[in-house]
């Protein structure tokens, strides 16, 4: 149980490093939806969709490869140095190409040329900090990691408020920039924050002597390229709807859909927080005797917490929504929230299950699974958006992620068996989903009945897990 405590501690610290900054950032949704029309928010969303594609291409799976081989190799300095040099050189070369062909690329991506230049700048800066951040995580320096992340988001929030807010805005600061509309201020704030973060992590570029090892690079690339392809497929799963929807339904609808999609961010934050602590832990713990049992226990409790999160957000959405979105024009797509929450919970379970192909160096399977998910996303959206509108986007996400979850579980049983408690996990997933959907879609979001359902679910969990919870409680008291 000490191993699980270590995992929990790391996850909480790294989770706070991700959750707190992103939660602060999410609060900007209220500012954006108050200041920007639906079309403007749609434009912002499309900007970051392209940025996500660029980020995956420019990092080409190097972060996860670094985790794998830094933990595995005895000569850790050569892994760190080789990864650093490779990322810096490739980022420089990519940057030259992206700027040289900025006009045709920006036209193909439907992005204003001025926006495109900022986009490339943000992407290049964010790519350069990937290995320093990975180094902080894999060497167990969560406080430093969290501090830099928090500084990044505080700069973004402060600049957004000063540049966009009608109450707290600074005309002096605005006069420093020549912009076409308010949307550009959002991108400028991000660019400045990314530049500051790069300055803060610069010392980590000199943590080791320059030592480029072609053999190490080959290992990193062989392991990482399927992850890059899987990453591109994941970006399609997560963002293709927001790219296609404005073409079919218009920018107004896409703005509402994108804003309401953000209401499911609490599940996304939970998953990201978990992955920050889990990924290095899974690699570092893989050689332990009880590794598979530990992974099984972690997934069960991940599902429990995720199921509780699903129910809480759905049941109390009428309290949450006014905090983040006041503008009524954005609430057009509110009905997607329960579906997107469930889809992201399935994605989180998939990330847990995916440890089998990462530990057995079969990352190509992750690529295959993600490609199938992307194909479903593309096909379903193309066919059904013209028929049922933005709800097709939510259904496509749920179908893709749930199928990816199932495929990973089936393949994992063959290549890296883990004794997951499938029956309990299925019970928690199905019951929480049923109670959440009944509350939202059939009981008109009745908070009183929803609260009763939530208490019943907590009681069920406490009853089924009573033996393990008693053991954990007793262990904690004995340690004290």
Tell me the pLDDT of the chain (480 aa) as tens digits: 455 566 666 666 666 666 666 677 677 888 899 889 999 999 898 898 899 999 999 998 888 888 778 877 777 888 888 999 999 999 999 999 999 999 999 888 888 887 899 999 999 999 999 999 888 878 878 778 878 888 988 899 899 989 888 666 777 788 788 777 888 999 999 999 999 999 999 988 887 778 888 888 898 888 888 888 888 888 898 889 998 999 999 999 999 999 999 888 778 777 777 776 666 677 666 667 788 888 888 899 899 999 999 999 999 999 988 988 988 999 999 999 999 999 999 999 998 898 888 888 888 898 899 999 999 999 999 999 999 999 999 999 999 999 999 999 999 999 999 999 999 999 999 999 999 999 999 999 999 999 999 999 999 999 998 887 776 555 544 554
Other beta carbons within 10 angstroms of residue 379's beta carbon come to 12
Residue 13 φ then ψ, to 5°: -65, -50
Q: What is the C-alpha to C-alpha distance for residues 269 and 264, in angstroms, rounded to an integer? A: 9
Please, are residues 281 and 7 in contact by the beta-carbon 8 Å criterion? Answer: yes
Cα–Cα distances in angstroms (integers) from residue 67 to residues 63, 79, 83, 206, 232, in the given order:
6, 10, 11, 19, 20
Q: Which of 80, 81, 86, 83 is nearest to 211 (CA)?
A: 81
Q: What is the C-alpha to C-alpha distance for residues 125 and 102, in angstroms, rounded to an integer? A: 17
Burial class (CB in 10 A: 0-12, 13-18, 19+), 192: middle
Q: What is the C-alpha to C-alpha distance for residues 144 and 150, in angstroms, rounded to an integer? A: 10
Q: What is the pLDDT of residue 477?
A: 45
Residue span of the structural domain in which 34 resides: 2-479
Long-range contacts of the stretch 208-211 (C-beta < 8 A, 24+): 208/77, 208/80, 208/81, 208/84, 209/77, 209/81, 210/81, 210/85, 211/77, 211/78, 211/81, 211/82
Cα–Cα distances in angstroms (integers) from residue 288 to residues 2, 3, 281, in the given order:
13, 10, 11
- Cα dihedral 452, 455, 459, 462 in deg (nearest 10): 170
Q: What is the pLDDT of residue 100?
A: 92
Which helix (H) or strand (E) is 212 found in, with range? none
Q: What is the C-alpha to C-alpha distance for residues 158 and 186, in angstroms, rounded to an integer? A: 11
Token readout for 370 is 């993600």
- Cα dihedral 265, 269, 272, 274 in deg (nearest 10): -140
Q: What is the pTM of this model?
A: 0.82
Max Cα-Cα span within the chain: 66
- Counting the structural domains of the chain, the total is 1
Q: What is the pLDDT of residue 1?
A: 44
Q: What is the C-alpha to C-alpha distance for residues 309 and 54, in angstroms, rounded to an integer? A: 31
Q: What is the C-alpha to C-alpha distance for residues 354 and 471, in angstroms, rounded to an integer? A: 29
Q: Which of 335, 354, 339 is nearest to 416 (CA)?
A: 354
Residue carrying structure tokens 């005895």: 74
Q: What is the C-alpha to C-alpha distance for residues 256 and 442, in angstroms, rounded to an integer? A: 23
């Amino acid at each position: 149980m000490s191993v699980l405590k270590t995992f929990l501690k790391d996850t909480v610290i790294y989770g706070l490093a991700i959750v707190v900054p992103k939660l602060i950032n999410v609060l900007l949704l209220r500012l954006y939806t108050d200041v920007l029309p639906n079309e403007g928010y749609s434009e912002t969303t499309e900007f970051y969709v392209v940025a996500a594609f660029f980020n995956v291409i420019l990092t080409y799976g190097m972060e996860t490869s670094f985790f794998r081989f830094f933990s595995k190799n005895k000569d850790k300095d050569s892994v760190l140095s080789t990864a650093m040099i490779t990322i810096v050189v490739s980022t420089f070369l990519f940057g030259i190409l992206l700027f040289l062909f900025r006009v045709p690329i920006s036209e193909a991506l439907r992005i204003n040329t001025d926006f495109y230049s900022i986009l490339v700048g943000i992407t290049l800066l964010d790519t350069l900090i990937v290995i320093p951040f990975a180094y902080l995580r894999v060497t167990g320096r969560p406080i430093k990691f969290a501090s830099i992340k928090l500084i990044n988001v505080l700069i973004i929030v402060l600049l957004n408020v000063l540049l966009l807010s009608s109450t707290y805005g600074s005309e002096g600061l605005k006069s420093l920039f020549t912009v076409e509309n308010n949307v550009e201020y959002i991108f400028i704030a991000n660019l400045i924050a990314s530049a500051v973060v790069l300055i803060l992590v610069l010392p980590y570029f000199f943590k080791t002597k320059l030592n480029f090892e072609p053999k190490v690079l080959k290992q990193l690339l062989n392991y990482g390229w399927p992850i890059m392809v899987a990453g591109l497929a994941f970006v399609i799963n997560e963002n293709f709807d927001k790219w296609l929807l404005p073409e079919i339904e218009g920018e107004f609808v896409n703005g509402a859909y994108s804003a309401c999609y953000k209401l499911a961010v609490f599940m996304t934050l939970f998953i990201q927080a978990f992955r920050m602590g889990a990924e290095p832990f899974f690699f570092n713990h893989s050689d332990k005797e009880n590794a598979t049992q530990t992974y099984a226990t972690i997934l069960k409790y991940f599902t429990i917490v995720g199921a509780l999160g699903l129910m809480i957000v759905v049941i109390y959405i009428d309290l949450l929504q006014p905090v983040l979105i006041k503008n009524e024009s954005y609430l057009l797509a509110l009905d997607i929230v329960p579906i997107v929450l469930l889809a992201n919970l399935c994605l989180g379970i998939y990330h847990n299950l995916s440890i089998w192909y990462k530990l057995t160096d079969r990352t190509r399977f992750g690529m295959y699974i993600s490609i199938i998910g992307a194909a479903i996303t593309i096909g379903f959206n193309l066919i059904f958006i013209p028929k049922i509108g933005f709800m097709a986007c939510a259904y496509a996400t749920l179908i893709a992620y749930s199928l990816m979850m199932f495929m990973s579980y089936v393949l994992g049983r063959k290549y890296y068996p883990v004794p997951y408690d499938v029956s309990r996990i299925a019970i928690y997933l199905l019951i929480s989903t049923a109670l959440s959907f009944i509350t939202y879609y059939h009981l008109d979001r009745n908070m009183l009945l929803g609260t009763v359902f939530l208490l019943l679910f907590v009681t069920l969990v406490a009853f089924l897990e009573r033996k393990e919870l008693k053991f954990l409680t007793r262990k904690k008291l004995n340690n004290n």
